[in-house]
């Protein structure tokens, strides 16, 4: 029975699984995105996110710990240089899994893209544009709580406008004209002719 065993063995031996995840983590760090199956991407996320967290603390101990896992100098240089600088302020969740509609031709496996969140330029640009757009809404201006000076300026400008405006002239409605009442379905022309 496998009660409480959360690791997905992926149908591989332990050594093969660790070697595969290490290679995939190296590829993810170097290329910023990898296309793979959904099951492998979920296993890779659990494998690589602790390494990314360790990279934020650039000490000799953390470098040795990460190198023991990755075994690749180029990916170490990239991880502790470019990647650590970008993810420095992020408190976690460094990867994103985007599922693809197409499946793998050989075995119909569900495919996906796993990528580093801070390196997807198109999503970052759209997010920044959306943030810039939402900062200029009417609701934020109304709720913004004007200062006393701004309130006083608005009150004085309204008073100045009221003083400058000419007094409105009053016009009375035109006098009512006498009208004849129509009886028995007569039209106005018929009553006019009769008189």
pLDDT higher than 70, residue 4: yes
pTM of the model: 0.65
DSSP 173: P
Contact 56, 88 (CB under 8 A): yes
Domains of the chain (ranges, CATH numbers): 14-122 (3.90.1030.10)
pLDDT digits (tens, 9 = 90+) for 58-83: 999 999 999 999 999 999 999 999 99
Q: What's the CA gap between 154 and 148, in Å, rounded?
A: 10
Give per-residue pLDDT as tens, 20-49: 999 999 999 999 999 999 999 999 999 999
Give the H/E segment covering residue 16. Answer: helix 14-31
């Amino acid at each position: 029975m496998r009660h409480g065993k959360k690791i997905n063995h992926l149908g591989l031996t332990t050594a093969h699984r660790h070697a595969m995840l290490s290679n995939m983590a190296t590829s993810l760090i170097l290329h910023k995105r990898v296309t793979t199956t959904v099951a492998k991407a979920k296993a890779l996320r659990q494998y690589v996110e602790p390494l990314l967290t360790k990279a934020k603390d650039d000490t000799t101990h953390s470098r040795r710990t990460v190198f023991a896992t990755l075994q690749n100098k180029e990916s170490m240089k990239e991880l502790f240089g470019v990647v650590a600088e970008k993810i420095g302020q992020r408190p976690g969740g460094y990867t994103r899994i985007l599922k693809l509609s197409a499946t793998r031709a050989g075995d119909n496996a569900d495919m996906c893209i796993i990528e580093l969140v801070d390196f997807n330029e198109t999503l970052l640009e759209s997010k920044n544009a959306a943030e810039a757009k939402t900062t200029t809404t009417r609701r934020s201006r109304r709720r913004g709580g004007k200062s006393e000076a701004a309130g006083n300026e608005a009150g004085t400008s309204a008073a100045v406008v009221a003083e400058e405006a000419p007094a409105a002239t009053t016009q009375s409605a035109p006098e009512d004209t006498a009208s004849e009442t129509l009886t028995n379905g007569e039209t106005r022309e018929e009553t006019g002719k009769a008189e």
